[in-house]
Structure 1
Amino acid sequence: MPESSPPSTAAVLVIGDEVLSGRTKDTNSGYIADYLTEIGIDLKEIRVVADDGDAIVNAVNALRASWTYVFTTGGIGPTHDDITADSIAKAFGVGIDVDPRAVAMLRERFPNPADLNEGRMRMTRIPFGADLIANVVSKAPGFRLGNVFVMAGVPSIMRAMMDVVGPQLAPGVRMLSESVRADAKEGDIATPLAAVQKAHPGVAIGSYPFMDDQGFNTNVVLRSRDAEALAAAKAAVDEMLAGLR
């Protein structure tokens, strides 16, 4: 049976001009989506914003008010346009400054004080009241403030940070899924599939067209946290498809 309380929800905020220009292909949001699905947290929204302070502040405030968790990626590096940390501080109405904990972490990688130049020290500026997210790859930390987790944009670093973040999240009942190859075009199953969905409201049913060497086809995907409900809906889909053949 499904859990009595609703599952935790989440949003991903991808930050960076390079993503919007197409120069950098975002893979972080897909990774986070897979990660959250595995632990029973529903990802409800993904946004991409430019390296613009007001855009970041507005997006963070909207998302953190709507969902249980917000995960941001990008914009916490050493360059002038890495403004995520400052924008998060502004969104929460707190100050920001060099954090001794972050400096200690960075010194593990750069023991020579001369190597902690102005650019690298930018990565030690943390909003007041934030908890740090360790970075085993390059040592420069991310941070958590409230329900917002601020992580690097470099995929290998972001994934390492998610391993640190994961135990801090409230897991739910894992979403179960079934996929059925329809051997039919999407338009041919649309009406009977709608009837199946109406009869099984506790199961999310979607149809996804594709092409292979046999031409147009459709996958029907069913999702639910209730194994019995999922099995019943799949049986109804199988029966419906058999009747069309």
Structure 2
Amino acid sequence: MNVAVVTVGDELLAGRTTDTNATWLCERFAERGVGVERVTTVPDRVADIARVVNEYRAAYEAVVVTGGLGPTHDDVTMEGVAAALGRDLEEHEAALAWLEEDGYSRADLTEGTTELPAGARALHNEAGVAPGAVLEGVYVLPGVPDEMKTMFETIAPEFTGDPTYREEVVAAEPESALLDRIALLRQEFDVSVGSYPGESVRIAIESTDEATVAAAAAWLRDRVESP
């Protein structure tokens, strides 16, 4: 399964808020064997949200959008997703019922709080107020990290794939000196390889076959200088 992650917020693009949501989601997807092929941040603008969501839903099995939920003037994510899917926004009775169970009356809620794209499945916000939504492979989650994480756990089983196994080999050599051995490693084993220089070079070996990863890592460790 492959997915794209879209985070929404002018504050993210301005550097005033660190985008921890994207990192957390990528980690969860990796644990589930789901490939993340795009991570994109867009401003609080309906047209930008709609354009990116529409493009990505045609290319990936799921699009996960976080941020910009709620009734305030800059919470336009639901409107953008609705535009991408060609749907109107309408009050969702199940979302309203959940909030009433949590102690909110209709009069307590700001207008627009429970408006979701027509036909969407509502996602209850157990850690906040603004509901999420699922429609046509697009998952819309809150931007507040605690709310996003809590809501994601309710839909996590919907994201599945083959687990990827990973081992790292650390080499006390320049990255350029390792190119020939990395090339041989790729010839010998069906693995993906990434190298990350620093004080030492970390060589990451990944595959969906655990035994292949272990064998490839052992092969390489025998052929590099350890720190």
TM-score (norm 2): 0.93
Shift of 1:153: 0.4
Q: 1:128 aligns with which of 111, 118, 143?
A: 118
Secondary structure in structure 1 of the residue aligned to 2:147: helix
Provide the rounded CA distance (Å) in 1 between the counterparts of 2:137 and 2:106: 34
Q: Contact 1:106 / 1:140 at 8 angstroms: preserved in 2?
A: no
Provide the rounded CA distance (Å) in 1 between the counterparts of 2:209 and 2:50: 38
> Do structure 1's residue 237 and structure 2's residue 223 form an aligned pair?
no
Shift of 1:28: 0.5
> Do structure 1's residue 204 and structure 2's residue 204 form an aligned pair?
no
**Larger mean Cα displacement after TM superposition, 186-195 or 46-55:** 186-195
Alignment match, 1:33: 26
Q: 2:184 aligns with which of 195, 216, 220?
A: 195
Secondary structure in structure 2 of the residue aligned to 1:94: coil
**Larger mean Cα displacement after TM superposition, 152-161 or 56-65:** 56-65
Residue deviations 1:8-60 (CA, integer Å, cap 9, x gap): 11110011101000111100111111111111111111001111111111110
Shift of 1:193: 1.4
Provide the rounded CA distance (Å) in 2 between the counterparts of 1:96 and 1:187: 55
Q: 1:142 aligns with which of 132, 141, 148?
A: 132
Alignment match, 2:173: 184
Provide the rounded CA distance (Å) in 2 between the counterparts of 1:78 and 1:165: 23
Alignment match, 2:146: 156
Residue deviations 1:92-141 (CA, integer Å, cap 9, x gap): 1111112122222222344344422xxx3322111011001121111421
> Do structure 1's residue 70 and structure 2's residue 40 form an aligned pair?
no
Q: In 2 relative to 1, CA 221–21 (structure 1 residues): closer, same or farther, beyond 3 Å?
A: same
CA RMSD of aligned residues (A): 1.8
Q: Contact 2:2 / 2:62 at 8 angstroms: preserved in 1?
A: yes
Q: In 2 relative to 1, CA 100–112 (structure 1 residues): closer, same or farther, beyond 3 Å?
A: closer
- Report runs of 4+ in structure 1 exceeding 6 Å deviation: none
Q: Contact 1:56 / 1:84 at 8 angstroms: preserved in 2?
A: yes
What residue identity is the alignment partner of 1:191? D
What residue identity is the alignment partner of 1:97? E
Q: 1:11 aligns with which of 4, 23, 41?
A: 4
Provide the rounded CA distance (Å) in 1 between the counterparts of 2:70 and 2:43: 15
Residue segments in structure 1 that go unaligned for 5+ positions in a row: 1-7, 211-215
Shift of 1:190: 2.5
Residue segments in structure 2 that go unaligned for 5+ positions in a row: none
Provide the rounded CA distance (Å) in 2 between the counterparts of 1:111 and 1:126: 18
TM-score (norm 1): 0.87
Q: Contact 1:105 / 1:139 at 8 angstroms: preserved in 2?
A: no
Q: Contact 2:62 / 2:138 at 8 angstroms: preserved in 1?
A: yes
What residue identity is the alignment partner of 1:131? R
